[in-house]
Structure 1
């Protein structure tokens, strides 16, 4: 980065020959104002064949990040990669709702004690903004969430059940009380929800924000993926959610990645899982 001009100059060219042979989708900020006048900045990734002069309308996949404080950026992920989704012909919305860092404490702190409140409304607001674009097929929208993003997918399915055609959830938080009793990551819930679920100050927050209490409003088909190599999210969370969908009579499928496989980051495993995910999305969005 030039101190004088502010212009960036690329110094390394790792995998240039490979990247030159790949069509990547254009990405841009999607910005809008929340009702309380905060400026929200989301990423929108276009399919590689998108052209602004075309009348084509694209289905949408909303990608929800794994941590309540993880901002969506243009980083390259070897697990859930927005460019891979866009390459299948989908617009990918990567929202930055209340709770994520990088936008100041006024944006980060409101998620504390309000996991399924303001952040969910922020994602719906981002979708409302996107749906006004002429290149969006508003009748074909899906969710894809990982860990906390999986919990957010569950909340969104309950909050706006008619809006989403389907959801893909990977290692999603489902029952916050059972998760607290099995994970080594209890410090996260102690910080976010004010203590263990039996603490008087936290009891009502667990009841309000645990996704398992909102199953009765689910309507969409769901694909559940669980990577058993993840030490923080026990498989029981995904199993409970899958059984709930089955008992609700919703079309659903469960895909378990054994811990011995190397997990989702292992290339062969990743390819197989992505094939399953793309086939599921195509079934409900094409």
Structure 2
């Protein structure tokens, strides 16, 4: 992943001080992992429906059986538990620097909300700029026109706040002020 980022930075006029990462579901999991493993590489992040703690995700997700395949067993197996701990963004979140927006459905049973709450709480306690938006009644995907307008406006505002160079025009939120 980072070799791809490095390739793009070397080839194109990209400001290496303003690189962000985003994703939903597995992309949210990867976003959480990247900001905890490479804290000096990303200026900002938007994580949508991303797990951050594999031991609690095992107990709460509606697809816990997949975790046994991914981590070679359940969390009570010492070897599997060690892998889960090593791969859990929340349990390795000390030192995160990326300003991070979390977006999650309240009723997500595939990747339960607790993963976003845990990592959000860790960043908040470390005084990293962070925000958590929970969509009431939503499952793994955010549905509905106005929910998506709200989500996209907040994501654009997040990028605008934490990634734009000083001489750019801010993104409008569509409201007259």
TM-score interval (norm. to shorter):
0.7 to 0.9
- CA RMSD between the two structures: 1.8
Runs of 4+ in 1 over 6 A off after TM superposition: none
Q: Which has the higher contact order (CA 8 A, sep 6+)?
A: 2
Q: Relative to 1, partners in 2 of residues 1:138 and 1:259: Cα closer, same or farther, differing over 3 Å?
A: same
Structure (1 or 2) with the larger CA radius of gyration: 1
Which of the residues 6, 31, 55 maps onto 1:153?
A: 31
**TM superposition score normalised by structure 2:** 0.85
Counterpart in the other structure of 1:271:
149
Give the structure 2 partner of residue 218 of structure 1. 96
Kindly indicate whether the alpha-carbon contact (under 8 Å) linking 1:228 and 1:263 is maintained by their aligned counterparts in 2: no
Instruction: Work out the number of aligned pairs and report it.
Output: 164
Alignment of 1:27-46 (within 5 A): none
**Residue 176 in 1 paired to residue 42 in 2?**
no
Quick one: distance in 2 between partners of 1:220 and 1:130?
20
Question: Matched residues in 1 for 2:61 and 2:143: separation?
Answer: 21
Q: Which runs of 5+ in 2 are unaligned?
A: 165-177
Question: What is the DSSP-based 3-state SS (H/G/I as helix, E as strand, rest coil) of the residue aligned with 1:216?
Answer: coil
Q: Deviations over 1:204-257 (max 9, x none)?
A: 211211111211121111111111243212221111111111101111111111
Aligned equivalent of 1:241: 119
CA distance in 2 between partners of 1:180 and 1:202 (Å): 11
Gapped regions of structure 1 (runs ≥ 5): 1-122
Is residue 165 of structure 1 aligned with residue 35 of structure 2? no
Secondary structure of 1:138 counterpart: coil
Q: More strand by proportion, 1 or 2?
A: 1
Hey, what does 1:125 align to over in structure 2?
3
Richer in helix (by share): 2
TM-score (norm 1): 0.54
